[in-house]
Amino acid sequence: MRNFLLILLLIGLATVYITGCERPMAKPMMDAVTPTEMPTMDDPEAFAMALVQGAVDLYKTEGREAMIGYYNSPESIDGQWYVFITDENNIYLAHPMKSEFLGRDITQIPGIYGTLIGAEIAMATEEGRWTEYLWPNPETNKLERKRTWSIRQDGYLFAAGYYEPWAPDPATLRVVSKDNPAAFTHAIVLAAIARYEFEGLEATATYYNDPANIDGQWYVSITDENDIFVAHAPMPDLIGTDLKDVMGLDGSPLGANIAKTTGIGLWSEYLWPNPETGQDEQKRLWAIRHDGYLFGSGYYEPASKDATAETH
């Protein structure tokens, strides 16, 4: 990021020298993005706020298009640090890590728990606000606790944040009622990830391969970074096989679709045997990547005779 800004500065200086222009240059992009007294990363809260202010300054000095172009470019990413921006209607204009967010409403972006975390971030005013939530750290590829600073300027939303390790004792995680099956699914998958961070892969796989840990229709499946199953209690024959080779009951590439999940999670719907009833029923699975591994669980809804498998 710094090398890119330095090149822009040198080009500007060369232009002044060649033309002999003696009028003052516009404030260099380097100064706009990097404040003169930039805090260090050792003070992540101050550093995040300074990054956001640098984005605001770039917008003020270079304009909307320069702002959008720079903060959608890889050059604006520095490890875990990046800035994202929406317009006055909360539509993403820039996000260098998630190009699929561009054009979407931030208030409709769900967090890892399924709540609309984007709506909280978008509540920022010109005074700014902090928001805390779970999110994948692009530097570690793990779910971590993120603190994001967001602020409004001319209606635009500017935001950046930093990460802190997340490795709670699974026993301390909140209990969610099965009356909300989607929320319960999120909770048991996150509990599996917490167990992995707390005890390691071998102990976690052993736990979720134990049939005693099947809770009616509920169980957790896990694959490694190569999509090879390491845990699947209801179907132990899957252990050692590639998720991408698993076909749906209708012959669709079910496993390959599930394997597309990312660090923010993916819901899939398909027909699958319910271990509680022994019947083929419509299943909603939530899967998420963490440290390269894929953790998934879901719930079932009785399928009608005419139901067809559907995968998202």
Name the packing angle between helices 44-62 and 64-71 (round to 10°): 140
Query: Residue 20's pLDDT band (boundaries 50, 70, 90)?
Result: very low
Cα 266 to Cα 296: distance, rounded to the nearest angstrom = 9
- At 50 the pLDDT is 96
Cα 277 to Cα 63: distance, rounded to the nearest angstrom = 61
Asked if the model's pLDDT at residue 23 lies above 70, the reply is: no
- The DSSP symbol for 295 reads E
- At 175 the pLDDT is 85
- At 18 the pLDDT is 31
- The DSSP symbol for 192 reads H
Question: Given the structure tokens 């720079």, which residue do they identify?
Answer: 70
- At 7 the pLDDT is 37
Dihedral angle computed from the Cα positions of residues 30, 32, 33 and 38, in that order, rounded to the nearest 10 degrees: 90
Q: Report pLDDT digits (tens) over 117-152.
A: 999 999 999 999 999 999 999 999 999 999 999 999
Which amino acid would we find at residue 83? V
Q: Report pLDDT digits (tens) over 46-76.
A: 999 999 999 999 999 999 999 999 999 999 9
Contact 194, 127 (CB under 8 A): no
Cα 72 to Cα 49: distance, rounded to the nearest angstrom = 19
- At 170 the pLDDT is 87
The mean pLDDT of the chain is: 87
More confident residue, 122 or 26: 122
- At 39 the pLDDT is 85
- At 312 the pLDDT is 36
- At 33 the pLDDT is 55
Cα 104 to Cα 91: distance, rounded to the nearest angstrom = 5
DSSP calls for 73-139: SGGG-BTTB-EEEE-TTSBEEE-SS-GGGTTSBGGG---TTSS-HHHHHTT--TT-EEEEEEEEETT
**Pairing relationship of beta strands 280-290 and 156-164 according to DSSP bridges:** unpaired
Q: Report pLDDT digits (tens) over 74-123.
A: 999 999 999 999 999 999 999 999 999 999 999 999 999 888 999 999 99
Which amino acid would we find at residue 122? A
| Residue 14 neighbours by CB distance under 10 Å | 10
Query: Residue 14's pLDDT band (boundaries 50, 70, 90)?
Result: very low
Contact 172, 195 (CB under 8 A): no
Domains and CATH numbers, the chain: 2-164 (3.30.450.20), 170-301 (3.30.450.20)
- At 31 the pLDDT is 52
- Per-residue tokens: 230: 């390491």
Cα 1 to Cα 7: distance, rounded to the nearest angstrom = 10
Q: Determine the average pLDDT of the residues in 234-257.
A: 97
- Per-residue tokens: 42: 């050792």
Q: Determine the average pLDDT of the residues in 28-51.
A: 76
Contact 105, 91 (CB under 8 A): yes
- Give how far Cα 54 sits from Cα of 81, 83, 121, 176, Å: 13, 10, 19, 41
Asked if the model's pLDDT at residue 233 lies above 50, the reply is: yes
- At 167 the pLDDT is 86
Q: Which of 32-36, 215-219, 226-230, 252-256 has the lowest mean pLDDT?
A: 32-36
- Per-residue tokens: 106: 């931030």
Cα 133 to Cα 154: distance, rounded to the nearest angstrom = 26
Q: Determine the average pLDDT of the residues in 275-291.
A: 96
- Give how far Cα 48 sits from Cα of 84, 151, 239, 280, Å: 12, 11, 43, 50
**Pairing relationship of beta strands 293-301 and 221-223 according to DSSP bridges:** antiparallel
Cα 9 to Cα 167: distance, rounded to the nearest angstrom = 43
Q: Determine the average pLDDT of the residues in 221-226.
A: 97
